Structure formats: C-alpha cells, structure tokens
Amino acid sequence: MTVEVTPELFASVPDAHGRFGQFGGKFVAETLMSALADLESLYASLKSDPAFLEEFDRDLAHYVGRPSPLYEAARLSNQIGGARIFLKREDLNHTGAHKVNNTIGQALLAKYMGKKRVIAETGAGQHGVASATVAARLGLECHVFMGEEDIRRQSLNVYRMKLLGAEVVPVTSGSRTLKDAMNEAMRDWVTNVDSTFYIIGTVAGPHPYPMLVRDFQSVIGREARAQSLSQTGRLPDALVACVGGGSNAIGLFHPFLQDAEVEMFGVEAGGKGLETGQHAAPLSVGSPGVLHGNRTYLMQDDDGQILETHSVSAGLDYPGVGPEHAWLKDIGRVKYVAANDEETLAAFHRLTRTEGIMPALETAHALAHAEKLAAEMNPEQHIIVNLSGRGDKDILTVAALEGIEV
Amino acid sequence: MSRLAGLFAALKEQRRKALIPYVVAGDPSPSGTVNLLHRLVAAGADILEIGVPFSDPMAEGLVIQLGHERALANGMTLRGVLDIVTEFRRDNAETPVVMMGYANPIERFGYQGFAKASADAGVDGLITVDLPPEEVALFDEALLEASIDNILLISPTTSIDRIKTIIARARGFIYCVAVKGVTGSGLLDVDDVAQRLSVIRGLTDLPLAVGFGIKDADSAKRVAVVADAVVVGSALIDEMVRRSQSQVGLEEIQIHGAAVQLLARIRAGVDSSHS
C-alpha cells in the first residue's frame, strides 16, 4: 500500500464513516444504526468535555489505581541478554488487567445515556469481570455472554462475575468461544436496544467502538511514554503487545505512532503453529472481510465462512482483529507476528520464576516475542512489553496442560 | 419490467397480498432444496426468499441459526445457493427469487462477479443484513449493473431522516422489520407496524414487505391488512424441525411437507385479509 506515513495520518483515522483506510465501518443490521449514531454523537460531545474527562481520570486514579508502574524486569533481561525489558504493569489494575480502563469509560457513557442495563461479551472472562465490576459500582444490571467452551476453561472468572452480581449467559452456538459470544451480545442488543448499553471489550465492532475503546485504552501508552522518558531519558526502541481483538496493543501503541523511531510488534496467537491452521492469527495469515460490524482481517475459508480458531488463551481465541490494526499492518507502521502455545507457556514460566510476576497466558504471547526481540538487540536499547493481565485465572489451565491435578 | 415489479403490479390489480416464505438453502439437505422451493410456490408463495448460510448469522434467532449450521455442515456454499436458483429456474421462470444473507461470503466472492453470477442464475433481489445504506454503495453499483434489486431494511428504530435515505436507494420492495429483535422474535404489535407503514407509504410507492415475528395464519392475516407482502421464515423452519423430530426415519419430502402445509394455511390467512 502506498500511503505516506506522516504524523497527521494517524490523527486522521477513523474518518467520518468510521474507516481506517479500507477497514472499519458500520456493517450492522439496520436496527442498530440509530443506537450507533446516538453513541457517536454523545461521544463526540463528551470526549472534549472537561467534566467527563475529569470524572474518567478520577476513576482511573482512585478506582483502578493508575498510573500503573513501568517496571524494569532486570533479572529477565539479564537471563535473555540484549535489550533492557520494561513491563507496563496493567496486571496491577483493579480486576487484574487492562480491560477495566475501557469498561470505566464505557460505563460512564452508559450513565450519561441513562441506560440501566449493560451487556458484554467475554473470552477469557477479563472483560466480563471488568464489566461486571463497573456495573456493580454503578448499580447497573449486567449480562455477560460467554462461550460454553470458555466457561469451562475460565471457571474462576465465571464465578467472579456471578459474585459481582452479573448474569453469565452461556453461548452454545458455533464454536462456543469469543466470536459466538459477540454474535449473541449483538442479538441481545438488537432486541433490547432502548434499555441497553453494549460494552464492547476490544477495538473491534462497528464504529464508533474501535475509536472510543482505543481512546480509553490510550492511557496505557501516554503513561508509558512519560515513564520511559523519566526513567531512561528516552523513548523505547520497541513496543510489544499481544493482539486478540487488539485493545491492549492499540492502547500502548497509539500514543507512540508518530514517533517513527519506536518499532512496534503486535503478537498474535500462533496456537499449534501457523502451518497447522490451528491458531488465531488473522493478521499473520488471514484476509480482509466483514465480521461483527467492521471490515478487517479475518480467518476465513474460500467461501467466506469464518473459521474456528485455536489458542491456549481464551482471550486471544478470536478470528478477527480491530480494524485499526488491519490498517497499521497495511501501511507498515506495526509489524504483526505470532507466538505459538509452546513458546507462550515457556514465557509464562520464565517471567513467573525470574520476576515473581505471573502473566496471563494472553500476555505471555507478547513476552515470548519480546524475549526473541531483546536477544537481538543491545543493552543500550530498551523495549516495553504491555503486561496486559495477571495470570491467576490461568493457573488451572496451565496445570491441566502439564497434567497436574490441583 | 423486473419480475418483482411485475408481480407487485399484478397483485395490486388483483387486490392480493404477496406471501414470501424464507428457507435456508441446503437445510435440511442440499439436494432437496429445489424441490422444496417448487412445493412452496405450489402452496401459495409469490416470492421465494432463500437464506444463504453463514457461520455468524448475527441477526438470526436460534431456529434460523441452527438452519444455517445444518446447511454449512451439509457443505452448502454461496456458489451452491446460486446453483440451486439456476436449477429452480429450469422449471420456473416467473416466481421472483430473493437471496438473503451476510456481507462476508459476498465480499469473498467479489461484488462484480457475484452480481453477474446472481443475474445469470435468475436471482431478482438481494437482502444483505449487514450492508446498511452507508456500506452498500459499491455492491449496489454492481447489482444495478446486473439489474438486480438491492432490497433494504427499515426497522422500528429507523428515524424519518434515515427512512428517506433508505428509500432513495431502495429498489424492488422495502423490507420492514416488524420488531426490535432477531428473526423469530415473539412480540408482534400490529398496530405499531401499521402506524409505521403509513409513515413510510407517505414517502414511497415501493411495495412494503413485513417480516420478523409472523408465525401463523392469524398473525399473517393481520399484517397483510396493512402490508403489501408478508414474510414467514422461522415458523416454517421450526415446523420442519418438529416434524423431523417427531418420528425416526422420515423422508425429506415428508419433512418439507410440514413447511408446505403451514405455508398453505398462512396463504389462506393472507387471502382472507381483504375480505
């Protein structure tokens, strides 16, 4: 693609139609178009409203616990050799992942719209927990759609959501994972559109969701940028984040997009290996198409049917990806790579043993790539890995994979 | 004049309302769909609406979702649906055929190629659930060139301004979604539908079809009083599923019979609407 990469370019997306180049848009049933238009106009007025922004910042500070630290993983760096590795500690947020940055923001929008009921889809359960959490805090009715397969894999988070007062709705259609949960959430939204706010958990879905989720998550990159400058005196040489839908990655990347010297790597779930077809890496090996309200890279067959995905981590088990990532890939600003299940598990153990930080399996994909990257760099360089979530929820999964009964 | 325009003109003269059954191509089996279509016509269908199965049918309720899953498990593809229409056309040149589906299989096929292949197969109209007016422009150009009507939907949440935008782009007929919800939803409020149809009629001469929530002769009759066409989908598929589960070893033709019989009853309901 022959797009000149200028600083202005990154501020120009999405355009008025919600497009990032050829990606994005509003590919939804007519019934939802008015709800999207309402959300768009509300957000347009609130995003520069000092009172709204102050409320958002206050919640991030006093409820979520921001800013999250930028921690230098010195023992890990030494073990790998090469560049210094810094971790942006989103795992220390309230509820244990970056997801809450977005649910705080969207719950505020729901409050401003006077909606009493919120719905959400979830894969690993982190977004479901973050949604149930803000719903509890604001006294909103909350329904979380979750694939049956994921309910089995993430039983701890399921119970957490129930404790928070949310109803977890099992989704039994299709592959019974995240994409099907999103279908079911859309169906609920169409049915209850007057009363309900749909809290989408990632930078996908129809416009304006990819934009507003990005904006809410960009606090990660803004903090990391300032922390890097104050701790090292310079910008990082590279950023690394895992990509399912891509919200933690866009949150870290977006404030750095104009810094041409900062390289960026989005790490998809390579599953059992890209060559096996059993993965969740649409940017690495997929092709453009339309799913869940936007045009983006998808894992699909020759007939345009969406393929089932495989990943050791439920949160990355998604056949699409946010449209801004699709665009960033095509213009060459971000490199998208994959880490397979095996490398991911090794990275999970390494961080846990060397730093006493147990990452989520999603996050461990980013770590797996960061280790390879750091090894090829020198000690004067440094990279920031988005430590997007903590791994407590995955303990049973890891145990099962290793044949250990807990 | 297109088949759709010709049909609606003729029905208007006869003061009759159109009945549009929806079935999923390839459900319950790919080889039986053409025969089912012919039998639906014989039972009183004026227009056939053929569902193109998709892995992620976001606007469908459970009954039609499962129909899509069965059809895909049977190996049905977009090309396969076109083949079904081609075969149907060998014995029926009159009944308009409308395909209803989702954008991605069409994107994958290619807009131009698909529009041409549809015209060659004898398709008259296309309903693509997730291509609202804002997103349909490119595809619509291809359809216009192939003389296929792009049929747009108007829902209970569509504002007057949007209705005008949709009408400016609509051809063939307008598909008015009766309820906020997915296909097969239960709560049909005919007074509410009537009121919205009268608003839309003030803005266009295109025929107005009503779908979602119509499940029997009575609800079809009440809708036919105010609409130009009545669409029935989930109820027919549900009827076939019930029949197939009622007895082991039924022939497909017997399973189809359940939908055909229900459609005949609905036809009688629709026809009694003007008496």
- Tell me how many residue pairs between chain A and chain B have CB atoms under 8 A apart: 116
Pair B137, B150: CB distance under 8 Å: no
- Tell me the chain A residues in contact with residue B65 when contact means C-beta distances shorter than 8 Å: 173
A11-22: average pLDDT: 96
Q: Using 50, 70 and 90 to split pLDDT, how confident is the model at A28? A: very high
Task: Give me the phi and psi of B204, to 5 degrees please.
Answer: -155, 155
Alpha carbon of A163: minimum distance to chain B alpha carbons (Å):
29
Q: Using 50, 70 and 90 to split pLDDT, how confident is the model at B1? A: confident
Any CB–CB contact under 8 A between B150 and chain A? no
The domain covering B3-274 belongs, at the CATH homologous superfamily level, to Aldolase class I (3.20.20.70)
**Residue of A232, A329, A242 whose CA lies nearest to A284:** A329
Write the single-letter amino acid at A300.
Answer: Q
Q: What is the DSSP string of A296-362?
A: EEE-B-TTSPBPP---SSGGG--S---HHHHHHHHTTSSEEEEEEHHHHHHHHHHHHHHHS--B-HH
In this complex, do A30 and B177 lie within 8 Å of one another by their Cβ atoms?
Answer: yes
CA distances (Å), A171 to each of A144, B59, B62, B249, in order?
10, 15, 11, 30
- Give the angle B211-B216-B220 at the CA atoms, nearest 5°: 50
- Tell me the chain B residues in contact with residue A289 when contact means C-beta distances shorter than 8 Å: 104, 107-108
Alpha carbon of B190: minimum distance to chain A alpha carbons (Å):
17
In this complex, do B130 and A27 lie within 8 Å of one another by their Cβ atoms?
Answer: yes
**Residue of B106, B3, B12, B111 whose CA lies nearest to B54:** B106
Continuous segment of H or E residues that includes residue A121: strand A117-122
Q: Which of B56, B62, B131 sits opposite A291 (nearest CB)?
A: B56
Domain range annotation of chain B: 3-274
Taking the C-alpha atoms of residue A369 and residue A389, their distance in angstroms, rounded to an integer, is 16
- Tell me the chain A residues in contact with residue B83 when contact means C-beta distances shorter than 8 Å: none
* Chain B residue nearest residue A24, CA to CA: B135
Residue that wins the pLDDT comparison between A394 and A175: A394
Q: Using 50, 70 and 90 to split pLDDT, how confident is the model at B122? A: very high
Structure-block tokens of residue B265: 């009853």
**Residue of B49, B152, B160 whose CA lies nearest to A29:** B152
Write the single-letter amino acid at B42.
Answer: A
Assess whether pLDDT exceeds 60 at residue B15: yes
User: Radius of gyration of chain A from Cα atoms?
Assistant: 19
**Local structure of A34: helix, strand or coil:** helix
Q: Strand A23-27 to strand A293-298: parallel, antiparallel, or no bridges (unpaired)?
A: antiparallel
**Residue of A130, A157, A19 whose CA lies nearest to B138:** A19
Q: What is the pLDDT of residue A379?
A: 97
Q: What is the pLDDT of residue A199?
A: 98
* Average pLDDT value over all residues in chain A: 96
Q: What is the pLDDT of residue A3?
A: 65
Q: Using 50, 70 and 90 to split pLDDT, how confident is the model at B275? A: low
Q: Using 50, 70 and 90 to split pLDDT, how confident is the model at B172? A: very high
A211-230: average pLDDT: 98
Assess whether pLDDT exceeds 90 at residue B274: no
**Residue of B15, B7, B99 whose CA lies nearest to B45:** B7
B241-255: average pLDDT: 95
Q: What is the pLDDT of residue A2?
A: 53
